[in-house]
Every structure is written in C-alpha cells, then in structure tokens.
Structure 1
Amino acid sequence: MDARDELRFDGRVAVVTGGGRGLGREYALLLAARGARVVVNDVGTGIDGRGASPSPAHEVAEEIRGHGGEAVADVHDVSDAAGARASAGAAVERWGRLDVLVNNAGISILRPLGDLTDEECARVLATHAGGTLNMLRAVWPHMVDSRYGRIVNTCSDALFGDTGLSAYAAGKGAVLGLTTSSAAEGAGHGIKVNAVVPIAATRMSLEALDGDELTAALLADLFPARHVAAVVAFLAHASVPCTGELLHAAGRRVARIFLGATEGVVWEKNPTPEAIRDHLSEIRDTEAFRAPTSVSASMAYSFARLGVGGAEPLTLDLKSPVAGPERTGPAEG
C-alpha cells in the first residue's frame, strides 16, 4: 500500500467509549496510531456492569502516550446523560474539537427471559440504548457546529435472535434504530453515522462460551479484535462513503447487514386473514427485496405499489437528505 493512500486521522479528535479493554482498546490504539487524539472512556465495570475501576482507561491512555500518541483517560459513566456530556466535554476542553465518536461501551447479562430481573433489564438497556443515545446527544451540537462528524455505533448478531439474549438484543435493536435515524438527521450537517457488528474474542464473548475451551481457542484464532478495529477505523474516517449502514466484522470476513422488505403481494380488494394465510409463501419470498434508506422511502414505495403517484408527501420524501438510493436485489443467503 502506498503510504499516501493510508487512512489517517491527523488533527482529528476521537472519543471511544468502553475504550479500556477488548475491542474498545483496539479501536483507541489504532485510531491513535493513525494520528488521532483520543479520549479513552471507560468506567471499568465487570462484564455485567457492576463495579468500577479507573485503571483500564488510564492504562490505555498511557499506552498510547508511550507510543508517541496523544490521549486522555475519562471514567465518566455514559449511561448517565451528565456523564456522556462530561466525556464529550473532555475532548473539547483538551483539544478544542470533537470529530469522531465510537460508541463501544456495553455490558452483557445472559439470562432466560423469565429469569431476568427488573434491575438487570434496566442496567442493560441503560448501557446500550441509553449510553448510545446519551453520547449521540452529547456530541451532536459540536458536530453540527463544525459541519463534520463520524460516528460508529456497535450492534450485534443478537439482532438475529437467540436464547438468553432478550435484554441485550433489545438494547442492540435500539442502537440499530439510533444508527439509521441519526444518519438521516446528520446527512445535512456533514455527519455520517454507521455501525459495526463485531464477532471477536473478548471477555464478553468468551464468558458466553461457558468453559468451551475448544470454541474459545477457535474464536481467539479466527476472530481477533484487531480485525474489527480495521472496520471501525474505516467507518470513522473522513472518506467513508456510506451512512446509516451496518458492517459485519467477523475475522477476515467483512459484510453488510441490512433491513430489507420483500416485494410482497398487492390485492385488488381488501385482504382477509384467509388471503394472508393462502399467500404467505409469496409474502415471505425473499427472492426480490428492497432496502429502503429511510421511512420516507419505504412509504413512497408502498404508495407506488398501491398505484398512487405524484402526491405531495412522496415528492418531499424522495428529496429528503438520506444515505443514498434505495437498494434492491436478490436475497442474501
């Protein structure tokens, strides 16, 4: 690779939440190695969100400085709105700007749906949904004022569903909605918002294996955290072309995850429950699909399928500042 083609962050300031361990540490180190000045935010909790320690954030900040980079540690809790504002403020106070946000802070409580306590649900949602929303709100005014911003949120394969992941998946579903919505809102301000869906050997993933040493060894070999960091750095760079998208970072494999809608069935008269039953296979057929880039694009297509065209809302919707043209194509395997 020609050094002139290297994706650099010289002059940029980044905040990485959950930056003291695992994936967050790799993100902070790589951004700093590429020239970014980094606020390493980490409360230092356990995997389940209990406890606190300033050590992880300070250790990573010191590691960055030891390699000649610039970094400060921040131990505010971003699940609290005031803590998120303080974390964003640390970047602006130290370096006078805030260009990049990586929302990585997360916890995991794996429990069957019926066994989850009220407190556990609140803790998981406060970290994933609340923390992401709080940080978005905290950095937004700075990025709008500068008419520039790159935000990378963290989603999960939990979106596809599995046993024991209800609260965690609910939080990540919220992150998905925050990613697409803030991407649409930021398009007119020079702000791009995407998300990474990582598979990596971390404290959280290894604990979920519950002592399965063989799978743990494979995970560590095939899915090192540094591979995910490369995807995050790309999404955080000024040159990233997309917004509102999810990139699946799974070892040496990188792919796109997206929401899609099938072509469906249109009835000449009002459908009945029996008609839905009899045509369900056609309704569910993923041979052809669309991936709207906004609510407006989705509604516009529904209007068009029903034979309505030229209505004022459609004209306005199609001019909305969204990520790009609607994607269509065959279903993914």
Structure 2
Amino acid sequence: MMIDLRGRVAIVTGAGGGLGRAHALALATRGAKVVVNDLGGARDGRGGAITAAQSVVAEIEAAGGEAIANGASVTDFAAVEAMVAEAKAKWGRVDILVNNAGILRDRTFAKMELDDFRAVLDVHLMGSVNCTKAVWDIMREQAYGRIVMTTSSSGLYGNFGQAHYGAAKLALVGLMNTLGLEGARYNVRVNCLSPSAATRMTEDVLSPELLELMAPASVAVGVVALASEDAPNRVVLCAGAGTFERAYVTLTQGVFIGAGADAPEKLLAQFDRVSDRDGEWLPNDGPMQAQAEVAAAQKALAA
C-alpha cells in the first residue's frame, strides 16, 4: 500500500538544506503539510537567516504542497513552543516531527573547548528534546504521533574528532528507547535514523562520485517510512546510497564470575567468553539486563 500523508502535519528541523530539505520535500510529496524549520546558521551553528527555510517552502508550494517557514533555534524552548503553536493554529494538529537540526565543530578531544562540546550537545540532544517535548502532549491527546530522531554512525560506532557529536547522537538512541515505551499506548512511535549522505556537513570528506551516489533524497526514503502510519517503534534505521540496515544494541549470554577477591582477574581471564556473540539477544527494555544477570547468577549458584 502506498504511503499517503495527506491530512498529516509535519515539522522538520534543520530543513533549509541537505537532509532536512530532502525530508521536507519527500513528506510534502506524499501530501503532508510541512513546517520547514531552519535557523539558517553556518555549519558550526553560528549566525542565522530564514531565507533557506523560505526557499524550501517555495519549492514545496511550487509543486502544489503546503508549507510554512520557521526560523526558531531548536535550543530555544519558548521559540520551539511558538513554532508548534503556529502549526497547530494553522492546521489543527501536529502528526510528525523529524528532529534533524545539527551543527558540527569537529576537533579531537584533547584540543576541544568545553563550550564547543556543550554547544553540540545543546543543538543535537537538547534541541531534539525541546522539539519533542513541545509536541508530546499534542500527539498523546490526538492518539497519533511519529517522531524521528537523527542519530549517527559516529554515535553508534565512534568517529575520530567527534566526541561531542557522537555523545549527543548516541544519547538520542537512549531517548528514543524510553519515549518509544512511554508513547506506545498513545500510538506515538519514536524511531532513530542514522543517515549517510552528501550534505554540507560531509562535502569536505567525500569524492564527487560518492557525493552523487549519496544524495540526501535516498535517505529521505527512510523518513517517509518512519513517518507513516505503519511505522515501526524503537528502531535504529541506518540509511545511505539507497541502502538500509537496522542497528541493534544486543547483550551476550555472559558468564557468572561472582564478587570474590579474585573476581577481576577471573573476569579478564574469561573476557573472550563474556564477549562471545553466540546466542546474543536483544533486551526489550533496560530492566531485562538486570533480570538476565540475576537469573544467570541464581543458575550458577544452584549448580
């Protein structure tokens, strides 16, 4: 069945260019009314102008869609609340939120200023928190919502020079996991997208051939799926060059070591067994880790 977003209202942050623009255009193509949010700052987050957002709105309108531009900073909760209120006043609801806004200030941890670390966390993590908090009650009350967090392979697997960025991006997976549990009863589904795409964030590190292959539109396919009525819940979807994978945080079967005086030495001696991925599994929530550990301990002690 074709995904039809007519009647749905979407907010896409950081939508003045790159991935956000592609997401906004893709959602609008499927019929969604779109708030195109973009501060219009530089890649490091400094400065700002609404012209980029207005340009994307013009593209959507030229194609027959409906959209409005918004220049709020996602770090300003009052401005975010006003943005959400404007969307609800104009269209009556908010169904989809794509938390895409981000900045880069790459530097090794040794050379990194803590102000830059905080700035990156403030935009990626707290920006997503602010926007999600602003729509959360609306989505719960209307018993419908689809929220997409933008995580990254830098958070899932690490990337040299991106300690702050990676920390923020993996934090969004934790946020997704809990909000997905809390929102499920209200038909609010929360997922993460881990994109690999050619944008101004990556233009300095990719060849022209890869830039063409990894167009943002190929990633926006994932956003349309995660914004749909049939979207999954609590999924980390990886996307790039038209290819899609799912990332998991799994748990190995583990080994009971105990807490004796020589337990640290035993742990190191058996670390290969602790790390053995044969039979690894996916806990449904955080408490399941402790439950599994207690069960393993009880089994070992009873033997």
Q: What is the identity percentage for the equivalent residue pairs of Structure 1 and Structure 2?
A: 36
Distance in 2 separating the partners of 1:277 and 1:174: 29
Distance in 1 separating the partners of 2:47 and 2:236: 31
With over 3 angstroms needed to count, the CA separation of the structure-2 counterparts of 1:49 and 1:278, relative to structure 1, is: same
Question: What secondary structure does 1:11 align onto?
Answer: coil
Distance in 2 separating the partners of 1:221 and 1:62: 24
Distance in 1 separating the partners of 2:259 and 2:166: 38
What is the Cα deviation at residue 161 of structure 1?
1.1
Matched, 1:262 2:252: yes
Aligned partner of 2:180 among 180, 183, 193: 183
Distance in 2 separating the partners of 1:182 and 1:205: 30
Question: What secondary structure does 1:254 align onto?
Answer: strand
Question: What secondary structure does 2:79 align onto?
Answer: helix
**Mean Cα deviation higher: 133-142 or 285-294:** 285-294
Q: Which segments of 5 or more consecutive residues in structure 1 lack a partner in the other structure? A: 210-214, 309-333
Is the 8 Å Cα contact of residues 264 and 283 (structure 1) preserved in structure 2? Answer: yes
Question: What secondary structure does 2:172 align onto?
Answer: helix
Matched, 1:297 2:288: yes
Distance in 1 separating the partners of 2:68 and 2:17: 15
Give 1:221's aligned residue.
212
Give 1:307's aligned residue.
298
Task: Compute the TM-score of the two structures, normalised by the length of structure 1.
Answer: 0.86
Q: Map 1:53-64; keep pairs closer than 5 Å.
A: 53-64=49-60
Distance in 2 separating the partners of 1:11 and 1:140: 19
Q: Map 1:265-280; keep pairs closer than 5 Å.
A: 265-267=255-257, 270=260, 272-280=263-271
Give 1:117's aligned residue.
113
Is the 8 Å Cα contact of residues 74 and 90 (structure 1) preserved in structure 2? Answer: no
Is the 8 Å Cα contact of residues 39 and 90 (structure 1) preserved in structure 2? Answer: no
Is the 8 Å Cα contact of residues 13 and 99 (structure 2) preserved in structure 1? Answer: yes
Q: How many corresponding residue pairs?
A: 297
Distance in 1 separating the partners of 2:241 and 2:136: 31
What is the Cα deviation at residue 40 of structure 1?
0.4
What is the Cα deviation at residue 288 of structure 1?
2.4
Matched, 1:201 2:212: no
**Paired amino acid for 2:240:** A
Distance in 2 separating the partners of 1:108 and 1:269: 43
What is the Cα deviation at residue 118 of structure 1?
2.4
Distance in 1 separating the partners of 2:112 and 2:47: 19
Is the 8 Å Cα contact of residues 238 and 245 (structure 2) preserved in structure 1? Answer: yes
Aligned partner of 1:286 among 277, 280, 286: 277
Distance in 2 separating the partners of 1:272 and 1:303: 17
**Paired amino acid for 1:33:** T
Give 1:167's aligned residue.
164
Question: What secondary structure does 2:3 align onto?
Answer: coil
Give 1:249's aligned residue.
239
Is the 8 Å Cα contact of residues 13 and 100 (structure 1) preserved in structure 2? Answer: yes
Question: What secondary structure does 2:207 align onto?
Answer: helix
Question: What secondary structure does 2:246 align onto?
Answer: strand
Aligned partner of 1:103 among 99, 102, 111: 99
**Mean Cα deviation higher: 260-269 or 249-258:** 260-269
Q: Map 1:83-162; keep pairs closer than 5 Å.
A: 83-159=79-155, 160-162=157-159
Aligned partner of 1:235 among 215, 220, 226: 226
**Paired amino acid for 2:86:** A
Distance in 1 separating the partners of 2:292 and 2:212: 45
What is the Cα deviation at residue 298 of structure 1?
2.4
Distance in 2 separating the partners of 1:187 and 1:301: 24
Distance in 1 separating the partners of 2:81 and 2:296: 45
What is the Cα deviation at residue 177 of structure 1?
1.1
**Paired amino acid for 1:182:** L
Is the 8 Å Cα contact of residues 78 and 87 (structure 1) preserved in structure 2? Answer: no
Task: Compute the TM-score of the two structures, normalised by the length of structure 2.
Answer: 0.94
Q: Which segments of 5 or more consecutive residues in structure 2 lack a partner in the other structure? A: none
Question: What secondary structure does 1:113 align onto?
Answer: coil
With over 3 angstroms needed to count, the CA separation of the structure-2 counterparts of 1:269 and 1:156, relative to structure 1, is: closer
Give 1:52's aligned residue.
48
Is the 8 Å Cα contact of residues 105 and 128 (structure 1) preserved in structure 2? Answer: yes
Runs of 4+ in 1 over 4 A off after TM superposition: 268-271
Q: Map 1:29-40; keep pairs closer than 5 Å.
A: 29-40=25-36
